[in-house]
Amino acid sequence: MAAIPPDDHKAYMRLALEQAHKSPPKPTNYRVGAVLVDSAANEILATGYTLELPGNTHAEQCCFLKLAEKHGVLEESLKSVLPSELALYTTVEPCSKRLSGNIPCVERVLRLAGSIRTVYVGIMEPETFVAENTGKTSLQDAGISIIHVAGLEKEILEVATAGHIKG
């Protein structure tokens, strides 16, 4: 993969969308892709997509779990081994509630507050599964910026909802 220029947010979002394409279509969740970037070094630390790892795993969760394994730490301790200027790119706003009982992605991001400075999103979470996602407010309250990367919404939504029953 060619290097992505620093601050080319659309290119990073396209990479996250490539990840989302790898997720199997299902009627019960969104196909989401995520990319975690060390902003200071302009280095991709991890990628992930929905259902990449065993269990009902979300894209952000897969990023963090893979990175924790790489560093030999539990996900809860990941902040201790990460740089202090991270950006998370995710095709769909991180979830604030998990119907499966898993920890919501917003809580996973909040564990890394102070390291993750910005979350870039392609679309805000549609209210299909969780009405009134409170993630954006929770992240902003913790000092994490949420920035919408415009221009890929139609494609992101098509990929995210593949496998959903239309009607």
- 43 catalytic per annotation: no
The active-site residue, picked from 52, 60, 93, 125, is: 60
pLDDT over threshold 70, residue 133: no
* 117-121, 134-138, 143-147, 148-152: range with lowest mean pLDDT: 134-138
State pTM to two decimals: 0.93
The pLDDT confidence band at residue 166, using thresholds 50, 70 and 90, is confident
Q: What is the secondary structure of 100-118 as a DSSP string?
A: TSSPPHHHHHHTTBTTEEE
- Other beta carbons less than 10 A from residue 131's beta carbon: 9
Q: What is the pLDDT of residue 149?
A: 96
Q: What's the whole-number average pLDDT of the chain?
A: 91
Q: 53 by DSSP, 3-state: which?
A: coil
The pLDDT confidence band at residue 1, using thresholds 50, 70 and 90, is low
Distance in angstroms between the alpha carbons of the first and the last residue of the chain: 39
pLDDT over threshold 70, residue 129: no
DSSP E strand boundaries for the chain? 33-38, 43-49, 86-92, 116-123, 145-148
Task: Identify the structural domains of the chain with CATH numbers, from first to last.
Answer: 11-160 (3.40.140.10)
CA distance 137 to 127: 16
pLDDT over threshold 90, residue 99: no
Q: What is the pLDDT of residue 147?
A: 95
Q: Where are the alpha helices (DSSP H) in the chain?
A: 9-21, 59-71, 105-110, 135-141, 153-160
